[in-house]
Amino acid sequence: MAHKKVYLIRHGMTLGNSEKRYIGRENNEPLCPEGIMAVRKLGSRIPDDLLADIDRVFSSPLQRALQTAEILFPGRKIILLDDMTETDFGYFEGKNHAELDGDEIYQKWIDSNGADPIPGAEKREDLTERSVRALMTALGDLNSDENIVIVCHGGNIMASLSELTGGGYYDFMTGNLGCWLLELETDDNGIVKTSYRRADLGDPDGSDNRRSI
């Protein structure tokens, strides 16, 4: 049985994020200047021993994630995971609450606590399927100990963690540069045991809210 550590990191802030817009996979906007500064600040705080322990670094191909990965892990080869892109928000894409307020479709979605489908959007089960598939691709040899980083999107994190842990989708909402640490026991049959917690890359041992399933 192997032990794997997986750091799931949400990308830095974009202009759309700062305006609280629904920015999905069809919007390939870059980090905004404030986002770049925040990523650089976090990168300066990551301990050298943690950087040395990372075996592989993965990223969504969208530029906001790839930029984040390149700044946090300079000089490292970044491996792209095509399935680890943000969800398609369909009717909500590019809009924010102020612009959607009063819209009947939006209100119905709010009243359903986000459970109703969004017109034209990707189905949550499809997002979950491809996000978990990308995670399993990143894990590689399930009989090999390894520490990996995946820089991706909020939707990928919510979908993957809710599927792996049985928790609620919105239990895993993650802000820009937020990070979850998964510690997985794996063998030929897949993931045998999962332990997870929120983490701060600048202080990786600073959280004690570990949960196991």
Query: Are 120 and 91 in contact, with CB atoms under 8 Å apart?
Result: yes
Strand 146-152, strand 179-187: pairing: unpaired
CATH of the domain spanning 2-87+123-207: 3.40.50.1240
Comparing CA positions, the residue from 185, 180, 184 lying closest to residue 207 is 180
- DSSP structural state of residue 91: G
pTM of the predicted protein model: 0.94
Q: Is the pLDDT of residue 207 over 60?
A: no
pLDDT of 61-106, one tens digit each? 999 999 999 999 999 999 999 999 999 999 999 999 999 999 999 9
Listed by start position, the domains of the chain span 2-87+123-207, 89-121
By mean pLDDT, which of 153-157, 160-164, 205-209 is the weakest?
Answer: 205-209
Comparing CA positions, the residue from 73, 93, 88 lying closest to residue 150 is 73
